[in-house]
Amino acid sequence: MSEDSKPLDDLYPFLHGKRKDPQRERRALLQSVRQKAEHSVAMKEKFFADNGPALVDAATALARVYQRGGRLFTMGNGGSSCDASHFAVEFQHPVTAGRPPLPAMNLCMDMAMISAVANDVGVEHMFTRQLRAHARTGDGLVGFSTSGNSKNLMAAFETARQMQLLTLGFCGGDGGAMRSSGLLDHCLLVETDSIHRVQEVHLAIYHILWDLTHTLLADKRGGLQ
């Protein structure tokens, strides 16, 4: 057994050895399912118990962007780019009857633009260039990063601050640069190092954030009733 394989052997002992017990293996896998599901639920409960006021504040800020005629831009890398896309679609194509579509642009969607910028001047500029082309003072920028340290997101947040955009970040772990930089108006942190749990909680957060934003927009006075 190599030193590299030993940690995996210790973590999943039922997968190693000359003979396997199918029933034992199945019980272990089912236990793994339960543990992961319980952890996911626990992380959601913890986030919303600790961050309810922060979530309402973020929704209020997004509602103000739209009340003033602004637009929303979203960004992320890898799996977080899918969250950026999902969040933008929620605003453009609301699934709840009676809620109006709102302008939201996912900065990850144009592969020609992304690959051109990455090839010509570097990946760290791929969101910044698009912001300078499309965004205006009073718009909003939302970024997703499980670590909070994505350099291209931080470059875009710095540009957004210069352009006087609302800045909102979704992150995990200890929040990384998103939390410590001072560039974000709102930072929604899921405190776990599990990338999967971070992304699962992010999904729940932005669904609720979308709903709260529309609720605020439905009240002309801009307050919850």
More confidently predicted of 12 and 149: 149
1, pLDDT greater than 80: no
Tokens of 126: 């791929």
pLDDT at 223: 44
The pLDDT assigned to 13 comes to 63
Q: Indicate the domain borders of the chain.
A: 42-218
Q: Does domain 42-218 have CATH number 3.30.750.24?
A: no
Q: What is the CA radius of gyration of the chain?
A: 20
At residue 216, does pLDDT exceed 70? yes
Helical packing angle, 195-218 and 22-67, nearest 10°: 30
Q: CA triplet 142, 147, 151: central angle to 5 degrees? A: 65
Higher-pLDDT residue of 98 and 40 is: 40
HSE of 135 in the Cβ direction (CA atoms, 13 Å)?
31
Once rounded to an integer, what is the mean pLDDT over residues 34-56?
Answer: 98
Q: What is the pLDDT of residue 5?
A: 57
Whether 222 has a pLDDT exceeding 60, the answer reads no
pTM for the complete prediction?
A: 0.88
Separation CA 33–CA 189 (nearest Å): 25
Residue 104: both structure tokens together: 């939201």
